[in-house]
Chains A and B, each alone.
Chain A
């Protein structure tokens, strides 16, 4: 029908006392109604088919999430075209509708700013594909496997089996680490050995430990980096590669292997220690001996010097300090 707008039919029905339905049937010829019906009956299935085809095509050419985006774009776009065409056929004037939609859109936009932002962020996440379902990701303090990527949020299952919902907007705005994006990972172990150890020998032992561990990949090769001279130790970084599935297994087994091998080879893993000097750095440490813990009447402890060993060098008179170690 290119004739009477339906709005006019509404207005006339109000004043004339004639039932609205009768006026509508009179206002919209049968042919127009049939054409509109055909548009809906043909248009909707065609749009659904086109959306499915677009999804399959993009999935085959790119990946599942790109297919999802393409399918949704075709679906929503196609349905919009069908609705607009049908309404035009029925005589609805689109100009007032679009105007009203604009006003309504602004109002809704303010009201649902966060939701819209999440929806748009969700589309970005699907298109950009920084992670997929089953990936292990870290967002802030949360680490978990992606269970689903929804319109407004992403659902994570934490490693201790809790569900965490993260708004899509948060994921777009914040730093996210995809732990399982790549098929192999490096296990880094920081190792400290005593200063008396031969650093080259320690390196060889570590490389052999990696070679003997079957979950440790031969390539990429393991690395041993001399990190520096620590307070109490020589510090190494030992990095070994494994598949992401074996990461935790190797992290445990390689450290058990290192401990066992160091024990077998007599390599010392030192405790932190401090060397204290009083006075000159090269003199012996001053010692104050107490006589069985008794104290003199004036309140001070009785002190005696340890008998000098025959191997000891001659002691200076101040070897026994009245202050004792401080």
Chain B
């Protein structure tokens, strides 16, 4: 074992196995002959003798499994436990803790990196962002949206995402929930802490939505952090998308 759990490269001798728990995700990795075997689940009792539970990958002899955190694979709707209002022409910076995905990559000199695992460390509820006629599927994340971070907030399966909210309109903006486009987030590691790049959201009170920018570099709180995961979908410039708008007609759906 040459890794600092849970992230890094697993160096397993033939016949060896190791078990990791990341969030609610339970992973068993076994190196066997020219195979890497994986068992992935939550709240399961595996039959140690049963071969059917294993996901088997035929790999070269020098292959190793590398575990890394990755950003969620969908938009996140962040709901605040304590909503606040952002006055017009003001900005605020909040920190959102989001559960990362666990990616397992087989690395070998003989083949390109092979993604064999991409699973959420914690299963989040689904939600819908948009109208009932169009929109996108998202994860629901309840957060306290803290103004400051402290040591105890960092756990291995959670990434800290700094979000700068700028209200460019003249009216107060109620911030009870907003969308974080996690597909475009980069992840960085500083010691045992996982950070994302800073997300800038500029609210313009426009129908087209808000302007969103991704820093692409470690946040000011962790300037020495090293990249561990690139965005799932990279964007060269900022984008404009709905971030604060919530469908009012949802309240009329009872009929």
Chain A residues near B (Cβ < 8 Å) = 182-184, 186, 211, 214-221, 223, 225, 239, 241-243, 246
A221 touches B250 (CB 8 A): yes
Instruction: List B residues 206-255 near A (Cβ within 8 Å).
Output: 246-247, 250, 253-254
- A223-B253, A242-B126 known; A218 and B137 CB under 8 Å? no
B128 touches A182 (CB 8 A): no
Cβ A218 vs Cβ B140 within 8 A: yes
**How many residue-residue contacts, CB under 8 A, span A and B?**
55
Q: Is B133 an interface residue (CB 8 A)?
A: yes
The one of A214, A220, A223, A246 in contact with B124, judged by C-beta atoms closer than 8 angstroms, is A214
| Distance in Å: Cβ of A203 to nearest Cβ of chain B | 13
Q: Verify if B123 is at the interface (C-beta below 8 Å from A).
A: yes
Binding site for A on B (CB under 8 A): 77, 79, 123-129, 132-135, 137, 140, 246-247, 250, 253-254
- The answer to whether B135 touches A183, judged by C-beta atoms less than 8 angstroms apart, is yes
CA distance A147 to B196 in the complex (A): 45
| A184 CA / B79 CA spacing, docked (Å) | 21
A251 to chain B, nearest CB (A): 15
* Residues from chain A with Cβ under 8 Å of B126 in the complex: 214-218, 242-243, 246
- Contact residues in A for B140 (Cβ distance below 8 Å): 218-219
Contact of A217 among B79, B123, B127, B134 (CB under 8 A): B127
A184, closest chain B residue (CB) = B128
CA distance A243 to B250 in the complex (A): 15
Which residues from chain A contact B247 at a C-beta distance below 8 Å?
Answer: 219-220
The interface residues of chain B lying within 8 Å CB-to-CB of A182 are 132-133
Distance of A220 Cα from B249 Cα, bound (Å): 9
26 contacts between A and B (CB under 8 A): A182-B132, A183-B128, A183-B134, A183-B135, A183-B137, A184-B128, A184-B132, A184-B135, A211-B125, A214-B125, A214-B126, A216-B126, A217-B125, A217-B126, A218-B140, A219-B127, A219-B129, A219-B247, A220-B132, A221-B250, A223-B253, A239-B253, A241-B128, A241-B253, A243-B126, A243-B137
Task: Give min CB distance, B103 to chain A, whole Å.
Answer: 20
Q: Which residues of A contact B254 (CB under 8 A)?
A: 223, 225, 239
Q: How many Å lie between the Cα of A218 and that of B250 in the bound state?
A: 11
Q: How far is the CA of A218 from the CA of B247 in the complex (A)?
A: 13
A222 to chain B, nearest CB (A): 10
Q: Is the CB of B125 within 8 A of A220?
A: no
B180 to chain A, nearest CB (A): 15
* Known A-B contacts A186-B253, A223-B253, A225-B254; A218 and B127 likewise in contact (beta carbons under 8 Å): yes
Measured CB to CB, the closest approach of chain B to A35, in angstroms, equals 54
Docked CA distance A183–B137 (Å): 9
Minimum C-beta distance from B242 to chain A (A): 13
Closest A residue to B123 by beta carbon equals A214
B129 to chain A: closest residue by CB: A219
- Whole-angstrom distance between the alpha carbons of A215 and B126 in the complex? 6
Q: In the bound complex, what is the Cα–Cα distance between A43 and B253 (angstroms)? A: 56
Minimum Cβ distance to chain A for residue B130 (Å)? 8
A60 to chain B, nearest CB (A): 19
17 more CB-based (< 8 A) A-B contacts, given A184-B135, A218-B127: A183-B133, A183-B134, A184-B128, A214-B124, A214-B126, A217-B125, A217-B128, A218-B77, A218-B79, A218-B126, A219-B128, A219-B246, A219-B247, A220-B128, A220-B250, A243-B126, A243-B128
Contact call B125/A216, Cβ cutoff below 8 A: yes
B132 touches A219 (CB 8 A): no
For B132, list chain A residues within 8 Å (CB): 182, 184, 220
Measured in the bound complex, the distance between the Cα atoms of B134 and A182 in whole Å is 7
Q: How far is the CB of A71 from chain B (nearest CB, A)?
A: 26
Nearest-CB distance from B132 to chain A (Å)? 6
Chain A residues contacting B123 (CB-CB under 8 Å) are: 214
Q: What are the nearest 5 A-B pairs in CB distance? A: A218-B127, A218-B140, A220-B250, A223-B254, A219-B127
- Which A residues are in CB contact (< 8 Å) with B253? 186, 220, 223, 239, 241
